[in-house]
Chains A and B, each alone.
Chain A
Amino acid sequence: MRIEFTLNGIARNVTVEPGMNAQKFLQDVMHVPSVRSGDDGTGYIGNDVILVDDTPMSAQRLIVAQLHERNVRTVESLSPEPGKLSDLQQALVESGAVQDGYNTPAAALLLDDLLHRIPKPNRQEIQDALSGLFVRDCGYEPFFKAMDLYQARKNDPDAAAAPTFRPEWREVGTPRPRLDGVSLASGQKAFVEDRVVPEALVLHMLRSPHAHAYITSIDTAAAENVPGVHMVITHENCPETNYTQAGQGFPEPSPHDRRMFNRKVRHVGDRVAAVVAETHEAAKAALELLKVEYEVLEPVLSIEQAEREGAPLVHGGPQQYVVGAPDDLEEINKNAEPRDGTITYQFPIGANPRKNIAASISGGLGDTTAGFEQADVVIERTYKTGQIYCTPPETHVVYSYMDNNRVVVHASTQVPWHVRRLVATVLGMPQNRVRVIKERVGGGYGSKQDILLEDVCAWATYKTNRPVYSHYTRTEEFTACSSRHPMTVSVKLGALDDGTLTAVEMNSKADTGPYGNHCLTVPMNACSKSLPLFLCDNVAFSVTVFYSNILPTGAYQGYGAPQGSFALQTAMAELASELGLSHMDVIEKNRVREGSRLELMRILGEGREGVAADVESCGLGEALKCGAESIELNSPVTSDDPDIRIGKGFAIIQQGSGLPGLDQANGRVCLCSDGSLLVQQGGADLGTGLDTVMAKMAAETMQVPLDKVAVISGDTDATPFDTGAYASSGTFFSGGAAMLAARDLNKKVLERAAHILKTVPEELRLDYPGVVTGGSRNLTLAEIAHEAESGEGLGPIAGVGSFTTEHHAIPYGAHFAQVAVNVRTGEVRLQKYHALQDCGTPVNPELAAGQIYGGALKSLGHALWEEMVLDETGTPMNPSMQGYCAPGILDIPEDFRAEFVVTDDPHGPFGAKSISEIATNGAAPAVAEAIHDAVGVWIRDWPFTPEKILRAMGTL
């Protein structure tokens, strides 16, 4: 049918299929990139919002015919002129509300509509306006700050978005609009899906309905005959290469325990086949015609089932070792099941797949037996954590094509270089024929450290010689994605009557699920990012990780630290309760502080010997003091409602700043002939503001304003190697490399200036704004650069920096919670949540705060609402946004604060340490203690549901 409508003020007249989804129509046919999807058409995520006759509506719940004679507006209509932001959008950018940016256009539209309805909305009205929008990155709190800023700017155009730190510097520590803010907030093309050409083929995956089965036959003939189908990939025609999907530095500690497609499926949703076709319709039709027969096996669905004598083996195939093979390997492999495929270990990780053990490790310091004997009180507690999902608004997505016999991969990834290495390995190509371009990432949070789609999409491109696009459904984002490893952590603590710890033991079991990506390092992290918070001479830990047929696990912001932190910090609170001492006193007696030496870190390496750590910056004392004051920790609160009990709790937390001795970041800063700077940097900004961090490092070092700096990053052709954005390495490593590169450039600029001025560099200095002084005359950067590129010049000037370190720059923090528990219904309301964090220098204060809010809210979700539930066959019950229960804006704490305790780390660039991952570690133990404080029961497994609380209280 023919429809007439107005789109952003322009009359349009289009012939359409009336039933076409309005979101697809606007994005694909009308080329409005900002009208997105991410939830299989349910509209739950809300990034499909449009204004129809000035009324916000979910485009996915409209068909095109319904746009006839309507006035349709998208975020583009907010711009006062093309490519410019409205005051509201500008306020969003400057308040840290724009992180991954995938849903920012929708937020801008909804808030703009709110301001038309209510010119000065209160907090509740803002919450209501955004109650149909899901964001995962910034914890929603920055939206209120943005609205405050928007209102304040009406009277005071210079109103600041966030406090400034480190006044001695111009850019570092001062809030500045992030470099990609305009592009993201105005809905310009920025994400992988925006790059896809119309003629691209699409790739859809057939996924296993069984948790554990052998594929006995696949008949692809009928599917291949569907018009428009180019190829069907199965275990019979995929590359033989064994690999791990974990995006870790090579050689990975994760076992290479899978091929692209396997004869055995190991979880509901495992890859069975991929169809590559001209259209989605053809691909879907072909999927239905694939005839697959399975030999269904008994699934292993928990740690208990995995460790049971005679349990079915998830990986019963032959094993091989690159180094460190056990002496009895031949014996082990005698009865191997070839259909299970081979596992290749790069080095030993304590695995024993014949007992479903994917990895194991143990170690310690001192003598815990003696420590427990010396103790006046010993407690032993066991804590359980659930399977938790990252739920980025943008599901996993990739677009690849051939260019001059090279494979180009546009990826939404945290690890461009690992993607390049893996794609090259799987395709059997040299790395120089693979280019990976990291686009803006619509949320990763760890799940995009794993390479879940790039391998098969690149292979399809390579084989068909065609552009290929693939985008996870929301269901796939749950069934075939990385998630937090479920863990069972037993903690044994011994202490003297005064609270001094005499021994600490932590015995952990983890479920890695069907494959071993991150199987050693995540559970290991539960120990290495929690035990060093306490100075105890006698410490022991053990970690055993099991294979099973639950949905896959992998990396997730915080890695294993949230699980370990929940167990150890809650146990410390329980110990204090047992001793009749204040929790704070027990923490103060035992906690790490500046000057401590952490021998434990030597034992707790990431799959190899680690490095002992000297704590050279630690804001923990200040965080504890400020938090206890702001939440009035020692003043009990009562409610007028007789059903409500109010309680408070807190936890101390730490993380790392990248992996000393393992990670490496590199940068180049090029001086353009007009004196502007181009930073070429390997680091992958996944929405955290890393590009802006790197730009600030360069601007500060080169004495130029920030607007003189542009950044390209995460492009394996155009930028130098970087291990990737994981393990909290961004600011510390990639930022560090940018600073070193800029220092190198600074030095070279002075050398060139000295050459021009016929003096020595030592006589000269680089001053703001980019002027070399101290010589016979002043030279601007532009003059120096121009001379360098002239016929008499010495060539263009660029600085390079490579950042590696043996130093741990550990971020610390303390999170405080106040909850109200309804003793009749078991409902828990978050009244206050105050997060105090020491990240050294907050380089981007507003974005750093957003990172804290985001991490804290994610972990509040883990503690209170979120979990993946499987039935007895291993089929997930709730693989949807509606079913999974990640928090929305109505769930956030009423009084939600992120505060910085500023320290100056001697090893971090401009004193900076990491910021975001650590924020996921405090909520579970702080809320557990607050619930205990309110109603007297300890809830020791996630999520703390009303039902569990009422059962623990004996009400149910």
Chain B
Amino acid sequence: MFPIEKYHMAESVQDAVRALAEDENARVIAGGTDVLIRLHEGHKDYRNLVDINSLDALRRIWQEDDGSVCIGALASFTEIMDHPLVQKFVPVIGEAVATVGGPQVRNRGTMGGNICNGAVSADSACAALVHEVDLVIENVDGERTESVIGFHAGPGRVNLKHGDLLKYFRIRPENYLNMGAAYYKYAMREAMDIATIGCAAGLHVTDGAISELRLAYTVSAPTPIRCAEAELAAKGQPLNKTTLGNIAQTVEQDVKPRTSWRATKEFRMHVIRTLAAKVITNAAWKIGEKIA
């Protein structure tokens, strides 16, 4: 039996925010994929739950007038990958969440949970980082917007304060238009594995040169990261093999992989370098560009 002492099914966002504000021990349960596992392990932090599953408003995926694509925090992985707006404008987000194994998991898992649990291996994190998604958050003091850049604070930690409720993700047009984006999940095997290394690239190309590269990794540092040095090395460079080689070398300065029982640091670094070239190549292909 889960040691739940208080359970509140929120009826509205305001109700949820109020319930969270009233109880300093209250935790949000969204898809439940992670919370339920922690409860099963007997974590005592999860005794008071505010369930937001009835908030259908948070399940929507829509486009705003300025072209921003919005994904509700409660939209399931299945809903995200199947949605025409996602497929048309931000397909890499759909591709990333599709790597989560099993319909029964994808039907329940949410991008809100995937980002808010702060997992270093979160499949949607790389794609969120290259699209520089905004997180629209509400608490009793009102609504605020934060960028996913800098949102991850450490292993399993994010910049959410008690009482905060993530409502939706917003991807502004400047963060997806004319950008080729790709994601690759390197896992020990195909089946239901967490990423050994995850890598996403977002690429803008002008006249055969990289006008902007956004390169993100999971499981390569204590949090999902963007690679400032590698991105700088790419800027203005011709889209060719030499540049990819340089990026792959430079990315070593951005990452801090570590040795675990699954893989040594040297091996992870090799994969990180290799994926940089591979994922940028795939991203280029998405906008009809080829590596010279």
| Contact bitstring A41-73, B, C-beta under 8 A = 1, else 0 | 111101001000001111011110110100000
Once the chains are docked, how many angstroms separate the CA of A824 from the CA of B274?
7
Does A337 make an interface contact (CB < 8 A)? no
Q: With A110-B104, A950-B270 known to touch, is A63 a contact of B36 (CB < 8 Å)?
A: yes
The answer to whether A41 and B36 have CB atoms under 8 Å apart is yes
Which B residues are CB-close (under 8 A) to A65?
Answer: 7, 9, 51
The answer to whether B32 and A62 have CB atoms under 8 Å apart is yes
Once the chains are docked, how many angstroms separate the CA of A46 from the CA of B194?
16
Which residue in B4, B49, B186 is a CB contact (below 8 Å) of A825? B186
Once the chains are docked, how many angstroms separate the CA of A60 from the CA of B49?
17
Which A residues are CB-close (under 8 A) to B270?
Answer: 950, 955-956
The answer to whether B104 and A19 have CB atoms under 8 Å apart is no
Residue ID in chain A nearest B197 by CB atoms = A825
Which of the listed residues A57, A60, A869 has the most CB atoms from chain B within 10 Å of its own CB?
A57
Once the chains are docked, how many angstroms separate the CA of A864 from the CA of B190?
12
Which residue in B9, B102, B190, B274 is a CB contact (below 8 Å) of A132? B102
The answer to whether A63 and B2 have CB atoms under 8 Å apart is yes
Which B residues are CB-close (under 8 A) to A60?
Answer: 36, 40
Q: With A56-B104, A131-B101, A133-B102 known to touch, is A24 a contact of B32 (CB < 8 Å)?
A: no
Within 8 A of B (CB), among A860-892: 864-865, 869, 871, 877-878, 882, 885, 887-891
| Contact bitstring A540-554, B, C-beta under 8 A = 1, else 0 | 000000000000000
Residue ID in chain A nearest B82 by CB atoms = A117
Once the chains are docked, how many angstroms separate the CA of A907 from the CA of B274?
57
Q: With A128-B103, A824-B274, A956-B266 known to touch, is A58 a contact of B108 (CB < 8 Å)?
A: yes
Chain B: minimal CB distance from A134 (Å): 8
Q: By DSSP majority rule, is chain A's interface helix, strand, loop, or mixed?
A: loop
Chain A: minimal CB distance from B205 (Å): 22
Within 8 A of A (CB), among B103-153: 103-105, 107-108
| Contact bitstring B14-45, A, C-beta under 8 A = 1, else 0 | 00000000000000010111001101110000
Does A599 make an interface contact (CB < 8 A)? no
Residue ID in chain A nearest B42 by CB atoms = A284
Residue ID in chain A nearest B260 by CB atoms = A877
Q: With A63-B36, A950-B270 known to touch, is A46 a contact of B104 (CB < 8 Å)?
A: yes
The answer to whether B104 and A49 have CB atoms under 8 Å apart is yes
Chain B: minimal CB distance from A691 (Å): 31
Which B residues are CB-close (under 8 A) to A877?
Answer: 261
The answer to whether A58 and B7 have CB atoms under 8 Å apart is no
Which A residues are CB-close (under 8 A) to B287?
Answer: none
Chain A: minimal CB distance from B100 (Å): 9
Which A residues are CB-close (under 8 A) to B263?
Answer: 947
Once the chains are docked, how many angstroms separate the CA of A877 from the CA of B261?
7
Chain B: minimal CB distance from A108 (Å): 13
Within 8 A of B (CB), among A941-956: 945-947, 950, 955-956
Once the chains are docked, how many angstroms separate the CA of A888 from the CA of B188?
12
Q: With A43-B105, A887-B191, A890-B191 known to touch, is A878 a contact of B261 (CB < 8 Å)?
A: yes
Chain B: minimal CB distance from A951 (Å): 8
The answer to whether B101 and A42 have CB atoms under 8 Å apart is no
Which of the listed residues B102, B188, B261, B274 has the most CB atoms from chain A within 10 Å of its own CB?
B102
| Contact bitstring B78-103, A, C-beta under 8 A = 1, else 0 | 00000000000000000000000111
Residue ID in chain A nearest B109 by CB atoms = A61
Which residue in A1, A113, A827, A888 is a CB contact (below 8 Å) of B103? A113
Chain B: minimal CB distance from A890 (Å): 4
The answer to whether B190 and A110 have CB atoms under 8 Å apart is no
Which B residues are CB-close (under 8 A) to A885?
Answer: 188-189, 193
Q: With A46-B104, A58-B104, A61-B33 known to touch, is A19 a contact of B267 (CB < 8 Å)?
A: no
| Contact bitstring B257-272, A, C-beta under 8 A = 1, else 0 | 0000101101100110
Chain B: minimal CB distance from A41 (Å): 3
Does B160 make an interface contact (CB < 8 A)? no
Which of the listed residues B53, B188, B194, B266 has the most CB atoms from chain A within 10 Å of its own CB?
B188
Which B residues are CB-close (under 8 A) to A110?
Answer: 103-104
Residue ID in chain B nearest A21 by CB atoms = B2
Chain A: minimal CB distance from B278 (Å): 8
| Contact bitstring A485-500, B, C-beta under 8 A = 1, else 0 | 0000000000000000
Chain A: minimal CB distance from B221 (Å): 20
Residue ID in chain A nearest B40 by CB atoms = A41
Once the chains are docked, how many angstroms separate the CA of A128 from the CA of B81?
13
Chain A: minimal CB distance from B277 (Å): 8
Chain B interfacial residues counted at CB < 8 A: 43
Which A residues are CB-close (under 8 A) to B32?
Answer: 61-63, 66
Does A236 make an interface contact (CB < 8 A)? no
Q: With A56-B103, A877-B261, A888-B101 known to touch, is A21 a contact of B1 (CB < 8 Å)?
A: yes
Which residue in A20, A41, A66, A128 is a CB contact (below 8 Å) of B37? A41
Once the chains are docked, how many angstroms separate the CA of A744 from the CA of B200?
71
The answer to whether B102 and A18 have CB atoms under 8 Å apart is no
Once the chains are docked, how many angstroms separate the CA of A81 from the CA of B51?
37
The answer to whether A40 and B40 have CB atoms under 8 Å apart is yes
The answer to whether A888 and B36 have CB atoms under 8 Å apart is no
Within 8 A of A (CB), among B43-61: 49, 51, 53
The answer to whether A891 and B103 have CB atoms under 8 Å apart is no
Chain A: minimal CB distance from B137 (Å): 24
Does A129 make an interface contact (CB < 8 A)? yes
Does A304 make an interface contact (CB < 8 A)? no
The answer to whether B1 and A19 have CB atoms under 8 Å apart is yes
The answer to whether A131 and B102 have CB atoms under 8 Å apart is yes
Within 8 A of B (CB), among A816-857: 824-825, 827
Residue ID in chain B nearest A827 by CB atoms = B186
Chain B: minimal CB distance from A47 (Å): 10
Does A281 make an interface contact (CB < 8 A)? yes
Which A residues are CB-close (under 8 A) to B188?
Answer: 865, 885, 945
Q: With A41-B40, A46-B104, A825-B271 known to touch, is A19 a contact of B2 (CB < 8 Å)?
A: yes
Once the chains are docked, how many angstroms separate the CA of A498 from the CA of B283?
54
The answer to whether B1 and A24 have CB atoms under 8 Å apart is yes
Does A17 make an interface contact (CB < 8 A)? yes
| Contact bitstring A1-36, B, C-beta under 8 A = 1, else 0 | 100000000000000011111001000000000000
Once the chains are docked, how many angstroms separate the CA of A825 from the CA of B191?
18
The answer to whether A61 and B37 have CB atoms under 8 Å apart is yes
The answer to whether A19 and B191 have CB atoms under 8 Å apart is no
Once the chains are docked, how many angstroms separate the CA of A241 from the CA of B212?
74
Which B residues are CB-close (under 8 A) to A825?
Answer: 186, 271, 274-275
Once the chains are docked, how many angstroms separate the CA of A60 from the CA of B1?
11
The answer to whether A132 and B37 have CB atoms under 8 Å apart is no
| Contact bitstring B205-246, A, C-beta under 8 A = 1, else 0 | 000000000000000000000000000000000000000000
The answer to whether B189 and A887 have CB atoms under 8 Å apart is yes
Which B residues are CB-close (under 8 A) to A113?
Answer: 103
Chain A: minimal CB distance from B93 (Å): 18
Which A residues are CB-close (under 8 A) to B33?
Answer: 43, 61
The answer to whether A865 and B261 have CB atoms under 8 Å apart is no
| Contact bitstring B274-292, A, C-beta under 8 A = 1, else 0 | 1100100000000000000
Which A residues are CB-close (under 8 A) to B7?
Answer: 1, 18-19, 63, 65
Does B177 make an interface contact (CB < 8 A)? no
Which B residues are CB-close (under 8 A) to A68?
Answer: 9
Chain A: minimal CB distance from B286 (Å): 18
User: What are 13 pairs between A and B in contact, CB < 8 Å?
Assistant: A46-B104, A57-B107, A61-B105, A63-B29, A63-B39, A63-B49, A65-B51, A133-B102, A865-B189, A885-B188, A887-B189, A890-B101, A950-B270
Query: Which chain B residues have a beta carbon within 8 Å of chain A's beta carbons?
Result: 1-4, 7, 9, 29, 31-33, 36-37, 39-41, 49, 51, 53, 101-105, 107-108, 186, 188-194, 261, 263-264, 266-267, 270-271, 274-275, 278
19 new A-B contacts, CB < 8 A, other than A18-B4, A65-B9, are: A19-B49, A40-B40, A43-B105, A57-B104, A57-B107, A61-B108, A62-B108, A110-B103, A110-B104, A134-B192, A825-B274, A864-B189, A865-B188, A865-B189, A888-B101, A890-B101, A891-B190, A891-B191, A945-B188
Q: Which 7 A-B pairs have the closest CB atoms?
A: A132-B102, A888-B191, A19-B4, A41-B40, A890-B190, A19-B2, A877-B261
